[in-house]
Structures are given as structure tokens and as C-alpha cells.
Structure 1
Amino acid sequence: MGTNPRPRAVFMAFGTKGDVYPLAAIASALASDQEHYHVVFITHAEHQDIIYHLEAKNVSFLSVTTPSVLSARQFDKLGWNIAELYQIDCVVAAPYVVPYSAPSSFERCFKKELPFLYKYLHEGSANEVCWNDVEHWMWPLFTEEWGTWRSDCLHLSPLPFMDPVTNLPIWHKRVKSPLLLYGFSKEIVECPGYWPSNAHVCGFWFLPPEWHFSCNKCREILASTFPRFSIKKNSLCANHTGLQSFLMDESSSCLPIFIGLSSIGSMGFIRNPEAFLSVLEVVIKTTFYRFVLFSAGYEPLDAAINLFIGTSSGSDNPSNLNYGQDCRFLFGGRLLCFSGTVPYMWLFPRCAAVIHHGGSGASAAALHAGVSQILCPFILDQFYWAERLCWLGVSPAPLERLHLLPENSDAESIKKAADMLIKAINLALSPTMKEQALKIAEILSAEDGVAEALKILKEQVINHAGDGLD
């Protein structure tokens, strides 16, 4: 007699690190908690830096070759269709608020063109797929683009919940409302009553901090007997004493300010990295601020940094002679450019403020660290986070793109951007904003988003699953 195969849980996470890493945190937690499950994680090949950590948790890694920057955050729709094909449970998980809504004419056109399906969806009970699910996140499934793919590639009916033969709703079968998990805090994001009944806000999802170190030696030094990680330790390895010394410099009157734009460079938004650095140079010469700039491995920005180093005198940046390749100093040693990675959870508490693009991961890490923020959004949910954090009182009004990344290098453009950035920094460092950031961090400290997501998965999916989930 053959043995039953292990149940399988497949995670599909497409997009940039901010989209992928939170899902990896849940996959890792599920594999550790449900050891009899075969957990599979599917994502872009460029995220292979987490393979080692996933495999250490017995999570299998499968890669796709599509670039992450081209993903339109439609993987929830892809997963739904594939789950329908194989008749398995589908769970939608997002670390951000759904950043798109249906066109204003969508419901009117839907009701006119698909009256029976419209009726079917409005008659669904609280626990069944209904119009709330469609309005909230499923509406693109009913567009021509997805319909053609469903029909031609998956051999499903062009529209969900429709009989492919009669082209009428499947009245005899009601699909349960898909579980929707959100990786942010109820204390930060308002949850309207019209959201689907099966939407759950868990709290922010963070990877174990040690996963974020690009340096194995630093990771080993900071590892401790604490169940997860000791973010209070200050010691880094010998190759990163420059970063450590810069953060712990007691001779400075202010902690350094972090600035990082993550994948914004690879998306093509940093068109003039020299102008960006010139803005920081003017800010540094005009104020007493110091900055830690994370280049995120974006080659044009790293090249611009090297160009500035090459054109400056040795006395301006003597520290470049003494520290590792991923630590470079500019502008009299007041700008540290770092091309590696360290956990935001470790770094941000050592900074006075955080300047970033408004990604959900950076926003969450800064909120937990209790530091004020300055956001310059570029796409999708970044605008939501920028507005939301301003409303919460932990960030000034969002910067316009040209006030951080001017496209022109003329003196007028650089000075205008620098003036706006200085104004935003002064507001972020005001006592009122700093106090509000600490207050919110205290509230969030009681949350564990990954544990909550795992609890819900176990209660609503795993305990009822036959042979896996998607």
C-alpha cells in the first residue's frame, strides 16, 4: 500500500523585494510550524539571495525569469486562476493596501453586460464570493485580458463562476470567499466596513533580521541566543567598522539620517544620479546633518559615487582609505555611501530620521523603530503610504520627485531641491513629530504580524485542507 504524499503549500510572490520578502516570512514560518508540509516558494530569479535562508527552513525555491520591475502586482489574479484550474484553496496575501480600484463605470457596465452574474454575486452570503470581493480586488479577472488567457491557456471559462457550456453562472455551486491576508497594522491603516468579510489585517510581516545581512560575518557576530535576533548589539565585522563608527559617532550632535530608494533605481526613476548626490552635497554644506545612503547595488548610482570620490581631494574623504569596498565616504566624511545590506530593524533605531520611497517594508520598519520619516513616492501604494504617514503625524508632506531627484544638474534645480529637502528634514526632526513616531512604535511593539497570519492560515485553511493550498 502506497503512502499518502505530503500536503503542499505553494507561495507565489512576484514583484520587488518589498512585495516578495513579506511572503517569504510567512512561508518560512509555515514550514517551521507545519513540518509535515512541503512548502514551495516561487518568485523571480533575482531574489535568489534568500534561497539559503528558505532552504534552511525546508522551503523549496523555484524561480521564474521575468524581471521583478515589470510585474504589475497581478500575481493574486494569476494565483486565483491556477488554483481554480487545480481546484485547490487560494489565499491572497498582500503586504500593502490594494493600490488599484475598479474604473468608475465598471459596475454599471458589468450589470449591463453580465446581468445574471451580477445577480449571482449580489446574492452571495457573507462567507461566499460576492460583489464586495469583486469590487475590492477581483475585478480585473473579469476583463478581456484575463478572459482570453483563461480560455486559451487554462481551458477554463473566460469568466470566473460561469459554466463554460451554458455561459451562465454556476448557480448550483457557491465558491467561498477567498481568504485575504494583509500585512500591515490596523493601528496604521483604517479597515472600512465594506471590505470583504474574509479580509484579515494581521500586522506587518518582517523577515528574520539576520536574512538581510549581505555580510555573513556581521550576521554571525550579531546572532545571539535571543529567539529571533539581537538588534541591540552594535558590533559589526572588521570590514564594516566604517558603518559602525559612523552610526555611533559621539562627537556629532545628531544621529545620521538614512536615505535609500531600494528598487527605484532599477525601475528607471534615478535618471541623474549625479544631480541626486549634488543635492545631498548642498544639504550637507548648508546644515550639520550627516547621511547614510544605501545605493541598493544600483550601478549608475554607485558609478556616480565613485566619480565624486575621484574628483574630490584625498583630505576630503580620508576614511575611504581605511574601510571595506562597500563603505565609501563623501563630502568631508558626512555622507556614508553603503552598497551592502543590513536589516532596517537594526539600522533605523540608530538613525535620526528615514528618507525613502514609500515602500511598505521601509515604512513599516521605520514605524516600528520609532523614527520620523520623509517620503518621496513614485508608484502604486507608495503614494498611499506617503499620505497616510503624513496624516498620522510621523512624516511631513510627501516630497515631489524633483525635490529629491532633479533631472537637471544646473545650480537652480539643485538649490531648489536642497531647500525643499532641508525643510522636510527640519519638520521631521521636530519634537512633535519625533514624539508621535515613538508613540506609534510603542503601540506596534505588541504586534506580531507573521504569527497572526500563521494562526489564521492554520484555523481557516490548513485544518480544512485536503492536499495543499496555493
Structure 2
Amino acid sequence: MVGGGGNGGGCDGDGGHSRRPRAIFMAFGTRGDVFPIAALAAAFAQDQRQYSVVFITHSAHQTVMFDICLCQAHLFLLPNSSRASHRKKIIQVEHRKECLSAVEDVFGNDMSTHGDFIVINFFALEGWHLAELFQVKCIIAAPYFVPYSAPASFERQFKQSLPLLYKYFQEAPLNMVCWTDITHWMWALFMESWGSWRNDSLNLSPIPFTDIGRSALIMGFLRNPKAFLMVLKDVIEKTDYRFILFSSGYQPLDSAIQSVASSVAESSVCQASALHCDIAIHHAGSGSTAAALFAGVAQIACPFLLDQFYWAERLHWLGVAPEPLRRQHLIPDTDNASSIKNAADMLIGTIKSALSSEIKAQAIRIANKLSSEDGIGEALRILKERVLPQSES
């Protein structure tokens, strides 16, 4: 544990101690995944001063917390997860242990949970199981559609293994968790990896919804940096386009930049923190997408996984980007001359499309529209409707 949080205590107007309701916001993933939940937590803490608000995330996002001024909330920072595949299981166990410890510090010393709740994003499903353990409401908050779907055999296996629970979900009324919710996103809660953790560490049934007393409310990837840079170099040599690269400290890309930069004019390929650009070319992560939309620039998306495909298609549908590039159109598998030329030609054509007056004008229109919206305010309103009594909201 890198950071610490409070236990949710407070004082009443007479100087005596009175219990403050507690709200945990838990979010993992990239900055784009974490920032919206952090912003919502900050808004809720500012709006509902009677609450003790705690935010739980990875320590890598500490600067994000300062950026949005989470001064009204306690902060738990969990160790960053390593990407080493051989350590994945060990890291998963430690991560879940840290999550349990953090939530236990907030809820563990008070038998009353009136008004308490947990808000999570889709990369923090630990919070859903912990909400069940501590008998508090759980709200799922996500600025995008579910980035994954259930395996094709999930329903058949579920019906075969848990026929009574399957029947219960099929017959559940609309205001309760039903089979539509399970297939929409909750199927991930029934995966075996969660079952063993629930049983061994949380002393819950391995299967969600089978414990008595359940109370919940449901609401730059680069395989071949050198080939990527060779594509950009080919585009530079054929056109007057220039590129600004954000490597985010990714060592293989930084090394490739150094090796390629010697043969490319310094002003052509560079790293910068804040320069004007006409087009944003990115992987269609939610954070990159939002930043480019607010900036009012045309975009070119090259998605790789999960929700990135949704955002890439959405950008094209909105008219602020051409059709998404396929991975091999930006990062060929091989760096032979033919592959580089084909990718460069595709990128040149896509850039020309993105520079069209129609796309540039639409990008500005969308940015102007977004500037007048209050997304956090709307999310806060919905959250308050779900967790606060009518008289308090």
C-alpha cells in the first residue's frame, strides 16, 4: 500500500462523534479509464460534504488525482501491476489482497453501512465482489459501452451448471438483475478466477447471487516500433506532412526513434509535449479520443483491442475521422520495403481524407458542442439519484 485513507468518521455540530456515510470509487486501467471515475469522485466529494469519499487506483495515476484536485477525498494507491506473463497469477493475488485491505480499512470497523456504496469501472470488478462482502450498493460507471462480450458457450454452460439461477434471472422483473444484465456485462463476474477468490479470501459462495442477504444496485500498443517509424519516414519523404510523436516513455519506441532520427530531419519526427497539430492519430483509447474531441482536431484511429474498436467506429460515425485504419496499415508485421510502402500509401490517403474541409469543420462543431456540456455534472446527478434518499438529492 503506497497511500492511506480515513475510516469515515466525523463530528456533529455539538462536538460529538457521528457516523458519516462512506463512498468508495475504485478504478483501474489506463488514464482514460481512471480519469472519468476520479472526476466523478471529486465532484461527488465536493457536492456531498456529509460523505467520506475514498478513491482507490494504481499508484501510476497519482498525478491524475492531483490534476483533478481530489482534495475532499482520501486516496488509496495500490502498487502498479507488472506485465510479465509468468508473474500474472502472483500479481493478481497480490492486487486483490490490496483491494480487500483498502476496502476493509474503510468499511471494516463499522457494523452500519447505511448510505454506503462503491462505484467501480469495468477494470475494477474486485469492487463488485467486495460490495457483496460488506453488503453495500455497487454502481458500475463507464463512459463507454462494455468492451467485451460473453463467450459463445456461456449461456449454454450457465444453464446446464446453474439451472435454478438461470431460471431466476430469466424470470426476474425489469427493476431487478435479469439475464439481459448477465449477458450484457455481468457474465465476467461468474468466471472461475473470481469464484476461487470469493470462496478462499472473501468467504462468499463461489457463485454470485447465491449468498443470502445480497444487496446491490447495478447500474499505445506497438509490436514493431521500427516498422511503425519506417512508415512515418516514408510518408515524410513522399509528402510535406510532419509528425509529433508521444512515446509515453515506452522504451522500445524511444530506442527506435533514436535509431531512425539520424536519417530524418530533426523537425520531421520529434517528441513534444504541447504543439499545435491538424490531425490526431491514435489508438482510439477513451482518453485519447476525448482529448482530441475537445481539441476540435480531425482524427485518425487505429484500434487494437477492447473498447478502442467502438470509439474508432464512433469517431467515423460522428464525421470527425475517416474509416479506422487496420493495425497493419500503421504498424506492418514486417519491415520489408513492400509492407512499408503499402502502409505508407494507406496512411497518406487517410491523412488526405482527414484533412478534408468537411471533417475539419465537423471536428470544430463537436468540440464546441462538448464545451457547453457538463458530463461530470450529469454523471453526478445520476449517481445521486441512485444512492441518496430523495430528500437529500
TM surpasses 0.5: yes
User: Which of residues 321, 329, 335 in structure 1 aligns to 2:269?
Assistant: 335
Output the CA distance in 2 between the equivalents of 1:41 and 1:65.
14
Query: Structure 1 residues 304 and 143 mapped into 2: Cα distance closer, same or farther (>3 Å)?
Result: closer
Aligned position for 1:39: 53
User: Which of residues 139, 142, 145 in structure 2 aligns to 1:97?
Assistant: 145
Shift, 1:412, TM fit = 2.5
Output the CA distance in 2 between the equivalents of 1:68 and 1:61.
21
Aligned position for 1:302: 254
More contact order relative to length (CA 8 Å, sep ≥ 6) = 1
Q: Does 1:420 align with 2:339?
A: no
Aligned position for 1:145: 193
- Match for 2:58: what amino acid? H
Q: TM-score, structure 2 length as denominator?
A: 0.78
- Match for 1:456: what amino acid? I
Q: Does 1:118 align with 2:166?
A: yes
Query: Structure 1 residues 148 and 57 mapped into 2: Cα distance closer, same or farther (>3 Å)?
Result: same
- List gaps (5 residues or longer) in structure 1: 164-169, 180-263, 313-329
- 3-state DSSP of counterpart to 1:40: strand
Shift, 1:461, TM fit = 0.7
User: Which of residues 288, 291, 308 in structure 2 aligns to 1:365?
Assistant: 291
- 3-state DSSP of counterpart to 1:109: helix
Shift, 1:357, TM fit = 0.3
Output the CA distance in 2 between the equivalents of 1:175 and 1:124.
15
Contact 2:40/2:379 (<8 A) preserved:
yes
Query: Structure 1 residues 399 and 138 mapped into 2: Cα distance closer, same or farther (>3 Å)?
Result: same
Output the CA distance in 1 between the equivalents of 2:172 and 2:80.
37
Q: Does 1:291 align with 2:291?
A: no
- Match for 2:349: what amino acid? K
Deviations 1:284-334 (A, max 9, x none): 22112222221212222223333344x35xxxxxxxxxxxxxxxxx62523
Contact 2:283/2:304 (<8 A) preserved:
yes
Number of equivalenced pairs = 344
Output the CA distance in 2 between the equivalents of 1:360 and 1:7.
31
- 3-state DSSP of counterpart to 2:25: strand
Query: Which piece of structure 1 moves more, 374-383 or 114-123?
Result: 114-123
- Match for 1:392: what amino acid? L
Aligned position for 2:329: 403
Query: Which piece of structure 1 moves more, 402-411 or 289-298?
Result: 402-411
Aligned position for 2:130: 82
Query: Structure 1 residues 271 and 161 mapped into 2: Cα distance closer, same or farther (>3 Å)?
Result: closer
Aligned position for 1:52: 66
Contact 1:133/1:177 (<8 A) preserved:
no
Output the CA distance in 2 between the equivalents of 1:61 and 1:412.
52
Alignment of 1:31-430 (within 5 A): 31-53=45-67, 57-67=71-81, 75-163=123-211, 175=215, 177-179=217-219, 264=220, 269-309=221-261, 311-312=262-263, 331=265, 333-338=267-272, 340=273, 350-430=276-356
- List gaps (5 residues or longer) in structure 2: 1-14, 93-120
Query: Structure 1 residues 407 and 142 mapped into 2: Cα distance closer, same or farther (>3 Å)?
Result: closer
Output the CA distance in 1 between the equivalents of 2:387 and 2:217.
12
- 3-state DSSP of counterpart to 1:413: helix
Contact 1:39/1:59 (<8 A) preserved:
yes
Same amino acid, percent of matched pairs: 55
Deviations 1:391-434 (A, max 9, x none): 33322222122222234333333222211110110111122322
- Match for 1:132: what amino acid? T
Q: TM-score, structure 1 length as denominator?
A: 0.66
Output the CA distance in 1 between the equivalents of 2:328 and 2:265.
22
CA RMSD of aligned residues (A): 2.8
- 3-state DSSP of counterpart to 1:39: strand
- Match for 1:161: what amino acid? F
